[in-house]
């Protein structure tokens, strides 16, 4: 493959998959990985083979594509509200075990009315805002909303879920244990109060890659939904949940210019590397947009659309980095980076290589 492209180490990826599966098993919870990280059915199937109970997606189109490749237990952790998508959701629900996310009376009503008209009962989970301030019913309003949704005959309230990530008291934190345990306790307590209303909450689904191991240890949690762990990245290393040896994916680039001793230009910019995790943002304080492997004094400092600017420190200026040389860079955030590429190159321990399409990448919603 011509640069820039993503390279995945199959052995490291398999080890990451197995470690999270074992962590879930040890905690006695289900693992339902979020496939938005890789967007490839072949990798989702590997996660299922390792012990995952099902998968999580963020888009209806992702669910449809994964179902076409034989995956039959899917949770769409995202409100589906437009008529066309609801029709597609109902069709898919008749073919596989499908759970839909809802976070308001409006989204639940739209889904319930359509399900009733087609004589279906749809499994749903109520999303709770535990501090992310994204989708999700406000925590203090969740019990009442759960009661109203449970009364809808065409919906089956399967449980509650949240996504909070590495937040505590509404602020980013590196104290993942405190963040994860607090998230778990909030959700378990909420489920208890909903059950007191006579509503049989079965699943309490939580967690992200940074907090998964800690939140899984909270008594009452039934499921975790990490995603990034399959590849890991620079952000996760900064959180302390992995080491550089766990980085399964990197971007292979070519040096295209050496304008000066302290500057090198690569053929990958913002259309190659995700820029949603900006340098020096608290509390991560990451320097640059990725880690240049094998070079301690080269810093991925700036990007434009098709150019990446590397600052060459004094220790590297005496090296032999020239135009035409190949570098490998681990991005700050692998999930968004994968979505910028149509294909990846998977390298196996026996030396074999395989080009795999990122099939769910860029699907319109």
Q: pLDDT by residue (tens digit) across 37-70? A: 999 999 999 999 999 999 999 999 999 999 999 9
Provide mean pLDDT across the span 285-304.
96
Topology of the domain covering 72-226: TIM Barrel (3.20.20)
At residue 362, the pLDDT reads 76
Q: Is the pLDDT of residue 364 over 70?
A: no
Provide mean pLDDT across the span 237-249.
98
The pTM score is 0.96
**pLDDT tens profile 112-140:** 999 999 999 999 999 999 999 999 999 99
How far from 183 is each of 163, 186, 194, CA to CA, in Å? 9, 5, 17
At residue 282, the pLDDT reads 86
Q: What is the number of other CB atoms lying within 10 angstroms of the CB of residue 202?
A: 14
Average pLDDT, the chain: 96
CA dihedral 190, 191, 194, 200 (to 10 degrees): 180
CB 205 within 8 A of CB 215: no
Distance CA 260, CA 144 (A): 64
The domain limits of the chain are 72-226, 244-357
Contacts of 293 (CB under 8 A, 6+ apart): 250, 327, 328, 329, 330
| Choices 3.30.230.10, 2.40.37.20, 1.10.645.10, 2.60.40.10: CATH for 244-357 | 2.40.37.20
Provide mean pLDDT across the span 176-200.
98
CA dihedral 134, 187, 73, 32 (to 10 degrees): 80
**pLDDT tens profile 138-167:** 999 999 999 999 999 999 999 999 999 999
Q: Is the pLDDT of residue 365 over 70?
A: no
Provide mean pLDDT across the span 89-112.
98
Q: Is 266 helix (H, G, I), strand (E, B) or coil?
A: strand
């Amino acid at each position: 493959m011509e640069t820039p492209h993503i390279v995945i180490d199959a052995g490291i990826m398999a080890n990451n998959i197995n470690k999270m599966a074992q962590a879930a098993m040890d905690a006695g919870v289900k693992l339902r990985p979020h496939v938005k990280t890789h967007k490839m059915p072949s990798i989702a199937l590997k996660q299922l083979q390792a012990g995952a109970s099902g998968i999580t997606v963020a888009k209806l189109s992702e669910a449809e594509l994964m179902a076409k490749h034989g995956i039959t237990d899917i949770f769409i952790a995202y409100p589906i509200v437009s008529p066309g998508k609801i029709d597609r959701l109902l069709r898919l629900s008749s073919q596989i075990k499908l759970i839909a996310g809802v976070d308001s009376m409006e989204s639940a009503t739209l889904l319930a009315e359509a399900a009733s008209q087609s004589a279906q009962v749809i499994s749903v989970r109520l999303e709770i805002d535990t501090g992310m301030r994204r989708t999700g019913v406000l925590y203090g309003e969740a019990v009442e909303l759960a009661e109203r949704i449970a009364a809808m005959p065409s919906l089956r309230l399967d449980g509650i879920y949240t996504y909070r990530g590495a937040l505590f008291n509404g602020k980013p934190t590196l104290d993942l244990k405190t963040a994860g345990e607090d998230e778990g306790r909030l959700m378990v307590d909420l489920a208890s109060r909903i059950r007191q209303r006579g509503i049989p909450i079965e699943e309490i689904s939580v967690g992200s890659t940074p907090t998964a191991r800690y939140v899984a240890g909270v008594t009452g949690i039934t499921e975790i939904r990490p995603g990034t762990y399959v590849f890991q990245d620079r952000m996760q290393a900064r959180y302390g949940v992995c080491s550089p040896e766990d980085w399964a994916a990197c971007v292979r680039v070519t040096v295209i210019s050496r304008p000066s001793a302290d500057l090198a230009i690569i053929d990958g910019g913002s259309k190659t590397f995700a820029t949603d995790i900006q340098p020096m943002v608290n509390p991560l304080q990451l320097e640059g947009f990725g880690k240049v492997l094998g070079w301690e004094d080269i810093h991925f400092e700036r990007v434009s659309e098709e150019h990446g600017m590397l600052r060459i420190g004094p220790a590297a200026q005496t090296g032999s980095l020239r135009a035409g040389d190949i570098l490998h860079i681990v991005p700050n955030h692998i999930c968004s980076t994968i979505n910028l590429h149509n294909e990846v190159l998977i390298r196996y321990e026996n030396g074999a290589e395989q080009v795999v399409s990122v099939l769910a990448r860029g699907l319109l919603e």
